[in-house]
Chain A
Amino acid sequence: MKNKTDTPLTEDFDTQTLQINVGPQHPATHGVFRMDLTLDGETVVRLKPVMGYLHRNHEQIAENMTYAASMPYTDRLDYFNSMSNNFGYALAVEKLAGIEVPERADYIRVILAELTRIVNHISVIGFLLNDLGAFFTPLTYAFREREKILDLFEEIAGSRMMCNYFRFGGVKRDLPPGLLERIRTMMDVFPRFLDEFEALLTDNDILCLRCQNVGVLGRELALNAGLSGPMLRASGLGYDIRKVDRYSIYGRFDFKVPVGSKGDVYDRYYVRVLEMRESLKILDQALRQIPSSGDIISRKAAPFLKAPRNFKPPVGEAYGRVESPKGELGFYVVSDGSPQPWRYHVRAPSLINLTVLEDLCIGHKLADAMVILGSIDIVLGEVDH
C-alpha cells in the first residue's frame, strides 16, 4: 500500500485522497455493482465493494415452493451458465432423496456442463479484453462461437440461456435426433477458433504488459479466502471438484487440471484458455462413450415430472456441489418431509471470489482495478442471489 510519504513527488504538496464511485451502472462493473474507491492520484488506496442491487431473495423464494419449481430459478443465479446451476441443484436434491441417475442422462449432463464451461470462459475472456480497452473485437469473436453453442442449447432445452433442462434423476427430455453430430461438428471447428484467438491474444505485447504482475493473488490468501475455480487454480492450487469429488461420471474421463504459477491476471486468463481445451477433451470422450439409447430419467423420479407436488424427500439434509465455470457452486438443502425445502442455501462462487477484490486492487492504478474485476469473473445474478 502506497501512502503519501512513499512518493516524493507528493511530499511537497498538500494532496488529498479522492473518493469516487464506480457503478452501480457502469460498463466495466459487469452488472449493477458499485465500487467505492479511494484514490491517491491514480492509485487505489481503499476499495469497498457495494453489492445487493440485484438481490431478489432467491433462498426465501425457493423455501416457499416445491423442489422442482426452484429449478428454473437456479437458471437465474449465474445467467451465463444455467446448465451448471441446474446440475448443482439436481445433485443436491438427488443426494437428499437417494435418486440414481441413468447412464445416458449422466452423459448428457456432463456434455452440457462442459459446453457451458466453454460458453462461460469464452465470454469471460471477451469481456476481460473489453475491460483492457480492446473494444469488442475479441468479444465479438468470442460471442460468435458462443452463439453456436447457445443454438445447440435452444435446440435441446428450448431456451438459449434459461435452459431449465435438468430434472431430479435425469434430464427433461431426450436430445433431439442428430444433435450429437452437431456437437461434434462444433467441436471440430472450435480448436481452430481457439488457436486463432490465442494468436491474437496470448503472446500479444499489450495484453502481456497490462496483465502480467497485475492483481497478484498469493496462495495463502486464495486458500484463506475460500476461493475456488479458475481463480484458485491460477494461483497454483490444483483443486478441482470434478477431480476431488468425481461427482456424476467425471471419474471416467481423462483430463488435466491446468494451474497457473503466479496468480496474476494473465494466469487467470490463460488457465481459462487451457480449461476450454480440457473441456473439449472431456466432450470428445463423452461423445464417444455415450450410450445411444436408454432412460433419460430414473424410474423412481419420473412420476414426479407430472406431479412435482408429490415429491417429498425424506427428512434430512444434503449438500451437492459442482465445479461450475466460476468455482464451487454448492446447494445445501434441508428437508422436513414436506414438498417444500425447509432450508435452501446457495454457496455462490462469484460472491466468495469477489471478497478478495480489495486485496488485489490496492496499490494498482484505477484502470487496472477494472481489469482485476474482469479477471475475477463475477456475475451479479449470483453475487446478489
Chain B
Amino acid sequence: MIFGAGILKGMLVTLRSFVNSYFKKPDQGGLFTVEYPEKRLVAKERFRNFPFLVYDEKPEDPRCVACDICAKECPPKCITIVRDADAEGRPLKKPALFDIDLSVCMNCGICEEACPFDAIFMDHEFEIAGTERHQSLLYHKEDLLKSNGYFRQIRPSDAALIDARRKEAEDKKKAALKPAAPPEKKE
C-alpha cells in the first residue's frame, strides 16, 4: 500500500464531482441549488405553511361560519374564534374575531382537513419574519383573509376540485328550493 493512495483516490472522486457539478444536469450530479433572494424555486402545489381564510366575493363575507371546529382540532391550539352577533345579540354565522398565532402554529394542516366549509387553507407565504415576538406574528382576521382567486392561483388543481364541489352543492340547494317555491304562490 502506497502511503497517501487513499488521499489521491479520494481527490479523484471529488475532482470528478466538481467538474460534473458544472457540466451535468441537476439530477445527474449537476448543481441544483438556487441563489435564494434573487432566484426562487416554484412552490409545489401541496406545500403548506400557515393557514389563511378564504372569501368568495368580498372580505366582509368570509366562507368561515365561526363553527370553532378548527380551533378545537388544532393540536397546539393556536386559533381563537369569537362568533359575531347582530344588534339584538343573536349569533351570526361569521366570525367577529379570528386570530391565529403563527408563532405557535406548527404547519400541520389539520385545520384545513377538518374544516367542513372549505374556509381555511394552508398558504404558500413564508416570508413573514418580524422584529418582535408577539404582535407581528399574531394574525387577525384582516390579515388572514384572502380571495378565492388567490387560492386558485397558488393551488390550481385543489381549487378546481373544491370549486366544483361547492358549485354542485349550491346547485342542489337551488334545485331543492325551486319546487318548494311555486306552492307558496298558489296560496
Contact = CB atoms under 8 A, between A and B. Distances in A.
A284 to B, nearest CB: 18
**Which 9 A-B pairs give the minimum distances between C-beta atoms?**
A205-B6, A72-B108, A158-B48, A158-B46, A69-B75, A200-B13, A204-B6, A155-B44, A164-B108
A34 interface: no
Contacts of B16: 196
B27 interface: yes
Interface in B28-68: 28-29, 32, 44-48
Contact of A154 (B6, B14, B46, B116): B46
B170 interface: no
A159 interface: yes
Contacts of A68: 73, 110
Contact of B46 (A65, A156, A204): A156
A200 B10 contact: yes
Contact of A66 (B14, B73, B107): B73
A69 B5 contact: no
A158 B109 contact: yes
Contact of A157 (B28, B29, B46, B73): B46
16 contacts: A68-B73, A69-B75, A70-B75, A73-B75, A151-B44, A154-B47, A158-B122, A162-B108, A164-B108, A164-B109, A189-B27, A199-B13, A203-B6, A204-B9, A308-B114, A309-B72
Given A159-B48, A199-B13, A205-B5, 20 more contacts: A66-B73, A69-B75, A69-B110, A70-B75, A71-B108, A137-B14, A147-B32, A156-B46, A158-B44, A164-B109, A172-B113, A185-B27, A189-B28, A196-B13, A196-B17, A200-B10, A206-B6, A305-B113, A306-B113, A309-B73
Contact of A141 (B17, B47, B72, B106): B17
A176 interface: yes
Contacts of A306: 113-114, 116
Interface of B: 1, 5-7, 9-10, 13-14, 16-17, 27-29, 32, 44-48, 72-75, 106-110, 113-114, 116, 122
Contacts of B74: 69
B27 A69 contact: no
Interface of A: 65-66, 68-73, 137, 141, 144, 147-148, 151, 154-159, 162, 164, 172-173, 176, 185-186, 189, 193, 196, 199-200, 203-206, 305-309
B20 to A, nearest CB: 10
Contacts of A193: 29
A70 B108 CA distance: 10
Contacts of B17: 141, 196
Looking at chain A's contact residues, the main secondary structure is: helix
B46 A200 contact: no
Contact of A159 (B9, B47, B110): B47
Contacts of B73: 66, 68-69, 308-309
A204 B1 CA distance: 12
Contacts of B109: 158, 164
Select the residue from B1, B6, B72 with max chain A CB neighbours within 10 A. Answer: B6
Nearest to A70: B75
Contacts of B29: 193
Nearest to A157: B46
A71 B6 CA distance: 46
B6 A162 contact: no
Contacts of B45: 155, 176
Contacts of B44: 151, 154-155, 158
Contact of A162 (B7, B47, B106): B106
A72 B75 contact: yes
Contacts of B27: 148, 185-186, 189
B110 A72 contact: yes
Contact of B75 (A65, A159, A189, A204): A65
Nearest to A209: B6
B102 to A, nearest CB: 15
Given A147-B32, A154-B47, A199 B106 contact: no
A66 B6 CA distance: 55
B139 to A, nearest CB: 20
Select the residue from A193, A307, A308, A309 with max chain B CB neighbours within 10 A. Answer: A308
B39 to A, nearest CB: 16
Contacts of A71: 108
Contacts of B1: 205
Contacts of B108: 71-72, 162, 164
Nearest to A307: B114
Nearest to B10: A200
A159 B114 contact: no
B2 to A, nearest CB: 10
Select the residue from A164, A199, A307 with max chain B CB neighbours within 10 A. Answer: A164
A76 B38 CA distance: 32
A186 B28 CA distance: 10
Nearest to B74: A69
Nearest to A75: B108
Select the residue from A73, A155, A158, A185 with max chain B CB neighbours within 10 A. Answer: A158
